[in-house]
């Protein structure tokens, strides 16, 4: 392994070493010769909050592949692995998980910094094999079709044995040949146009092999109890692309609780309250005094027991997503939640002692009228009257996504968005702390979600390389 030789590389090396030292290993990963760099193209906090980053490593390592995790910081130049602090150049396969559209900027930056041509057809035999998977592929597999050598569509569990076998190969072209036989693999550059998505079964319940204080789920062992969503909110790709919905068997989840009983848990699912065996899990966790937090839940389905149990872990604030500023807008966005349901949940939150509530909203619908805003301002007044000491509003513009009923909608323009934010602030700034998502970042997400093939490389040159 090459050690860093200059000051900048030392700084990067030490940063990654420290991150690794802070991780607590829950289960052992077999050590094999370095082969696959598993790259989460975002910072460590985001990467370690995603169970996929750990689970894919476990799936590959348990089949004999030498795999190490990488994450991204804009100031990184060499890119060292978390586990062994090996430079990424020592890995012959780079496997990216593409979770958010705007991570395109980070994928491009990493490739450029390591001297890898962006266009797959410009790469040589000595360049690493670039494979890209992740949820963005589910709604637009063409975004990276000119950049990736191979795109994997769907859950890796479906073809993990074939993928591992293919990656065992020392010859890049033999690996590609084997990978092209896999039904979930799409490759524009190697001429395989037919592919089919596939979703894993959750028969084996995924859980993380490490915990860390730097994750959003601080020091929690992540366990995936559901994949996909039974709802169909028109702004959200999850309800339309991850089908059919899968739920983990409660006994298998409880087995994990028993095995790692000294840990605290982070339960991962699109909405935890839709998990059909939630009461069975709560019974066990209550009995055994297990602490846990959840990735997301529906406010109209919460009950006092669940909220009380969450509160004792580390939930200082109660997070709720009414999404629409009025009931009429919620109906347009197919958010099947009523005002009464939201009020009931918020009242329960106060009853169990939450003092801070965070409310998430999406604005920017062409149908919005001053009547809808009046209802919104009245609603926040009512929440104030419930006795919450702090109300935080997170406002995002609607980003219409492919493969959803909003696919053909246009995104609101900047001026209009900023005016609506100003109007909200004027009416609510005494009652709530207001965070408005940046228009620039949201519009970039909108643009990237629609890119195809060579357009993506042009977009990168235009937007990320000109400065
Ligand atoms: S409930 Fe949440 S995850 Fe499910 S479709 Fe609606 S926004 Fe998406």
In a domain, 2, yes or no: no
Whether residue 172 sits in one domain with residue 219: no
Taking only the tens of pLDDT, the chain with its 467 residues reads: 567 888 889 999 999 999 999 999 998 888 778 899 999 999 999 999 999 999 999 999 999 999 999 999 999 999 999 999 999 999 999 999 999 999 999 999 999 999 999 999 999 999 999 999 999 999 999 999 999 999 999 999 999 999 999 999 999 999 999 999 999 999 999 999 999 998 888 999 999 999 999 999 999 999 999 999 999 999 999 999 988 899 999 999 999 999 999 999 999 999 999 999 999 999 999 999 999 999 888 999 999 999 999 998 867 789 999 999 999 999 999 999 999 999 999 999 999 999 999 999 999 999 999 999 999 999 999 999 999 999 999 999 999 999 999 999 999 999 999 999 999 999 999 999 999 999 999 999 999 999 999 999 999 999 998 65
- Total number of domains constituting the chain: 3
For ligand 1, whether the C-beta of 215 sits within 6 Å is: no
In a domain, 276, yes or no: yes
In a domain, 431, yes or no: yes
Residue 359 C-alpha from the chain's centroid: 20
Whether residue 181 sits in one domain with residue 59: yes
Whether residue 213 sits in one domain with residue 64: no
Q: What is the DSSP letter of 152?
A: E
Whether residue 63 sits in one domain with residue 186: yes
How would you class 114 by CB atoms within 10 Å of its CB: exposed for 0-12, middle for 13-18, buried for 19 or more?
Answer: middle
Determine the distance separating the centroid of ligand 1 and the alpha carbon of 204, expressed in angstroms. 24
For ligand 1, whether the C-beta of 271 sits within 6 Å is: yes
CATH number (domain holding residue 155):
3.40.50
pTM: 0.96
Q: Taking the alpha carbons of 125, 126, 129, 130 in that order, is the dihedral positive or negative?
A: negative
Whether residue 57 sits in one domain with residue 189: yes
Do 380 and 336 touch, CB atoms closer than 8 A? no
Tell me which residue range forms the domain holding 432.
311-436
In a domain, 161, yes or no: yes
Do 232 and 242 touch, CB atoms closer than 8 A? no
pLDDT in tens, 416-458: 999 999 999 999 999 999 999 999 999 999 999 999 999 999 9
Whether residue 82 sits in one domain with residue 165: yes
Would you state the structure tokens that stand for residue 319, as one six-digit string?
């997070």
Beta-strand ranges (E) seen in 368-409 are 390-397
Separation CA 210–CA 44 (nearest Å): 13
Residue 232 CA: which ligand 1 atom is closest? 5
CATH number (domain holding residue 211):
3.30.750.210
* Protein residue whose Cα sits closest to atom 8 of ligand 1: 236
Determine the distance separating the centroid of ligand 1 and the alpha carbon of 454, expressed in angstroms. 32
Separation CA 467–CA 448 (nearest Å): 19
Determine the distance separating the centroid of ligand 1 and the alpha carbon of 274, expressed in angstroms. 11
For ligand 1, whether the C-beta of 229 sits within 6 Å is: yes
Query: Using alpha carbons only, what angle is made at residue 119 by residues 130 and 94, rounded to the nearest 5 degrees?
Result: 15
| Residue after which a domain boundary falls, among 167, 198, 229 | 198
| Residue after which a domain boundary falls, among 198, 223, 242 | 198
Query: Of 135, 231, 337, 398, which is best to mutate to test ligand 1, by the most ligand atoms within 8 angstroms of its C-beta?
Result: 231
Whether residue 185 sits in one domain with residue 107: yes
Determine the distance separating the centroid of ligand 1 and the alpha carbon of 337, expressed in angstroms. 11
Whether residue 157 sits in one domain with residue 13: yes
For ligand 1, whether the C-beta of 233 sits within 6 Å is: yes
CATH number (domain holding residue 348):
3.30.750.200
Determine the distance separating the centroid of ligand 1 and the alpha carbon of 336, expressed in angstroms. 10
Q: Are strands 67-71 and 93-97 parallel, antiparallel or unpaired?
A: unpaired
Determine the distance separating the centroid of ligand 1 and the alpha carbon of 226, expressed in angstroms. 13
* Protein residue whose Cα sits closest to atom 6 of ligand 1: 233
Whether residue 83 sits in one domain with residue 27: yes
Separation CA 306–CA 278 (nearest Å): 9
In a domain, 466, yes or no: no
Determine the distance separating the centroid of ligand 1 and the alpha carbon of 124, expressed in angstroms. 42
For ligand 1, whether the C-beta of 236 sits within 6 Å is: yes
Q: Are strands 220-224 and 210-211 parallel, antiparallel or unpaired?
A: unpaired
* Protein residue whose Cα sits closest to atom 1 of ligand 1: 231
In a domain, 467, yes or no: no
Would you state the structure tokens that stand for residue 344, as one six-digit string?
């009931």
User: CB within 8 A of 24, min separation 6: which ones?
Assistant: 210, 211, 212, 219
Residue 274 CA: which ligand 1 atom is closest? 1
For ligand 1, whether the C-beta of 299 sits within 6 Å is: no
Residue 314: per-residue pLDDT: 66
Beta bridge partners of 226: 247
Beta bridge partners of 396: 362
Query: Of 230, 234, 239, which is best to mutate to test ligand 1, by the most ligand atoms within 8 angstroms of its C-beta?
Result: 239
For ligand 1, whether the C-beta of 333 sits within 6 Å is: no
Whether residue 218 sits in one domain with residue 146: no
Q: Among 305, 369, 380, 307, which Cα is nearest to 332's?
A: 369
Whether residue 150 sits in one domain with residue 50: yes
Q: Among 157, 163, 20, 1, which Cα is nearest to 93's?
A: 163
Determine the distance separating the centroid of ligand 1 and the alpha carbon of 200, expressed in angstroms. 19
User: How many other C-beta atoms are found inside a 10 Å radius of the C-beta of residue 287?
Assistant: 8
| Residue after which a domain boundary falls, among 141, 166, 198 | 198
For ligand 1, whether the C-beta of 321 sits within 6 Å is: no
In a domain, 306, yes or no: no
Would you state the structure tokens that stand for residue 108, as one six-digit string?
């491009």
Beta-strand ranges (E) seen in 261-371 are 264-268, 292-294, 317-323, 356-363
Determine the distance separating the centroid of ligand 1 and the alpha carbon of 240, expressed in angstroms. 10
Residue 118: per-residue pLDDT: 98
Determine the distance separating the centroid of ligand 1 and the alpha carbon of 6, expressed in angstroms. 47
In a domain, 450, yes or no: no
Whether residue 67 sits in one domain with residue 193: yes
């Amino acid at each position: 392994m090459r050690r860093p030789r200059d000051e900048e590389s030392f700084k990067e090396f030490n940063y990654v070493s420290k991150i690794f030292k802070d991780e607590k290993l829950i289960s052992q990963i077999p050590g094999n010769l370095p082969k696959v760099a598993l790259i989460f193209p975002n910072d460590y906090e985001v990467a370690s909050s995603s169970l996929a980053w750990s689970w894919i490593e476990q799936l590959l390592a348990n089949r004999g592949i030498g795999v190490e995790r990488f994450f991204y910081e804009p100031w990184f130049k060499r890119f060292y692995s978390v586990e062994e602090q090996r430079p990424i150049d020592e890995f012959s396969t780079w496997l990216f998980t593409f979770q958010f559209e705007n991570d395109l900027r980070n994928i491009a930056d990493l490739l450029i910094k390591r001297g890898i041509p962006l266009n797959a057809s410009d790469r040589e035999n000595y360049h690493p094999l670039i494979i890209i998977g992740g949820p963005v592929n589910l709604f637009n597999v063409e975004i990276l079709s000119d950049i990736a050598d191979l795109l994997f569509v769907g859950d890796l569990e479906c073809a993990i044995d074939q993928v591992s076998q293919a990656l065992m190969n020392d010859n890049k072209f033999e690996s590609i040949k084997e990978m092209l036989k896999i039904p979930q693999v799409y490759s524009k550059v190697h001429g395989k146009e037919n592919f089919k998505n596939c979703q894993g079964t959750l028969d084996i319940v995924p859980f993380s092999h490490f915990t860390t204080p730097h994750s959003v789920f601080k020091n929690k062992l992540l366990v995936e109890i559901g994949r996909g969503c039974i709802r169909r909110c028109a702004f959200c790709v999850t309800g339309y692309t991850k089908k059919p919905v899968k739920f983990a068997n409660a006994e298998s989840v409880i087995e994990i609780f028993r095995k790692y009983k000294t840990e605290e848990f982070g339960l991962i699912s699109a909405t935890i309250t839709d998990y059909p065996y939630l009461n069975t899990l709560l019974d066990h966790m209550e009995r055994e005094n297990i602490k846990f937090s959840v990735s997301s839940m529906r406010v109209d389905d919460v009950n006092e027991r669940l909220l009380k149990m969450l509160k004792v872990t580390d939930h200082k604030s109660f997070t709720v997503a009414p999404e629409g500023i009025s009931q009429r807008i919620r109906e347009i966005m197919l958010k099947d939640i009523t005002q009464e349901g939201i009020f009931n949940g918020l009242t329960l939150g106060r009853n169990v002692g939450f003092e801070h509530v965070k409310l998430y909203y999406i604005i920017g619908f062409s149908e919005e009228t001053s009547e809808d805003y009046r209802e919104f301002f009245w609603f926040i007044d009512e929440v104030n009257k419930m006795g919450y000491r702090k109300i935080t509003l997170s406002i995002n513009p609607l980003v219409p996504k492919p493969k959803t009923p909003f696919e053909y909608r246009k995104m609101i323009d900047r001026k209009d968005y900023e005016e609506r934010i100003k109007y909200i602030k004027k009416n609510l700034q005494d009652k709530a702390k207001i965070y408005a998502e940046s228009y620039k970042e949201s519009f970039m997400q909108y643009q990237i979600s629609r890119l195809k093939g060579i357009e993506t490389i042009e977009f990168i040159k235009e937007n990320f390389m000109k400065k």
